[in-house]
Structure formats: C-alpha cells, structure tokens
Amino acid sequence: MITDINEVELLESVGIRLKNNPAILGIVLDKLKRCKDNGVEFYIEIDHVVEELGCKNFNAARVLGILIDNAIEASLECEKKMVFLKFTKSIVNSNGNEKQEESIEIKNTYIDIGLDMDKMYDKYYTTKNNGKNQGLGLWKVGKIVRKNDDLEIYTTVNEEIFTQNLKICV
C-alpha cells in the first residue's frame, strides 16, 4: 500500500510540474513506466513548473527521450539499477544579458566498459555488443545540439555515475 501511495504522489507531483509541457510529460511518464517494468529505480526532481520551450521543445523532447533510454539501458547492466532526472531553471548572465536557462540532468548508474568520450557522438559508435543497429542515438543528440545554438550538452563520468546535462536557453 505504501508503494502505491508513493507512486501516486510521484505521478501527481510530476503531472503538476510538467502539465504545461505535454511532450516532456509524456516522455517522462513513458520512461517512468519502462523503469518500473525493468526494476530500475527512477528518481525525479523538478524545482519549477516546466513550460513549453517554443520551437526548441521538439528537439529537447527528442534529446531527452534518447538520453533517458540510454540511461535505463546502462543501468540495467548494474547491480544498483538507478536513473535520476532533475529539472532546474536559472538565470544566467551572458555578455551582460540575463537569460533564463532550463537544465535537464540525467544521471544513471553504469559499468565502465571503455567509453571513448571523444567518439560518443560519432555515427555508429557504440559500446553495446548486441548486434542491433546501434550507435545512432547519441549521434542524433549531437546533431540536434550542433544545429541549435540554444542547446548545449555536457557529459561527466565518475566511477559509478554517468551524467548528461542538457542546457536550454529560453
């Protein structure tokens, strides 16, 4: 019963904060279900109501979907299967101009199997060995980010946590 109550509270909280952005809400709910179905713990933190991101919304939604899919897949290989998703909004000063910046951070547990950070956005580069058509997700992310001046992505890795942070100037 406690688990069901916590899940309802989580869904309500997510829904309230993402209701103004149905594309992002749909992706988050879909990935939350995927995590639950695969035994992956999913943690989410949203410190504000996420609004539509204008013409960037479609690209941000595509990137977010790919990054969370990759996070889930990587965490499945770990003893502790965890994905963390965090939305924050801040004011940044760029050349004397203040701009709002939406940050979407995706963290996951992972096992280091020799990822080459310099090649991870190259077409067909993959660390997966399952014979499927791999190496296109992060390539698409890189392509989207390169084509949009208002999008940036930062990747960091430590011993057990892989982090990707998508910055969107709004």
Query: Pairing between strand 161-169 and 97-109?
Result: antiparallel
pTM: 0.87
Name the percent of the chain lying above pLDDT 70.
88
Largest CA distance in the chain: 53
- Burial pattern 77-108, b for ≥16 Cβ within 10 A else e, equals eeeebbbbbbbebeeeeeeeeeeebbbbbbbb
Query: Pairing between strand 97-109 and 41-46?
Result: unpaired
Q: Identify the pLDDT of residue 129.
A: 66
Domains and CATH numbers, the chain: 2-169 (3.30.565.10)
Bridge partners, residue 123, by sequence: none
Q: Identify the pLDDT of residue 6.
A: 62
Mean pLDDT value across residues 22-26 = 91
**Of residues 92, 93, 29, the one with CA closest to residue 64:** 29
User: Does residue 82 have a pLDDT over 50?
Assistant: yes
Q: Identify the pLDDT of residue 122.
A: 76
Q: What are the counts of helices (DSSP H) followed by strands (DSSP E) for the chain?
A: 4, 5
User: Does residue 156 have a pLDDT over 50?
Assistant: yes
User: Does residue 112 have a pLDDT over 90?
Assistant: no
| Sequential DSSP letters for 86-108 | EEEEEEEEETTEEEEEEEEEEEE
**Of residues 153, 69, 149, 34, the one with CA closest to residue 104:** 153
Mean pLDDT value across residues 18-26 = 91
Average pLDDT, the chain: 85
Can you tell me the distance from the alpha carbon of 27 to that of 66, in angstroms, rounded to the nearest whole number?
10
Lowest-confidence range among 27-31, 51-55, 62-66, 84-88? 51-55
Mean pLDDT value across residues 86-94 = 86
Q: Identify the pLDDT of residue 1.
A: 37
Q: Residue 42, CB half-sphere, CA atoms under 13 Å: how many?
A: 23
Q: Identify the pLDDT of residue 103.
A: 93
Q: Identify the pLDDT of residue 130.
A: 61
- Burial pattern 27-50, b for ≥16 Cβ within 10 A else e, equals bbeebbebbeeeebebebebeeeb
Helix (H) or strand (E) run with residue 21 in it:
none
Q: Identify the pLDDT of residue 131.
A: 57
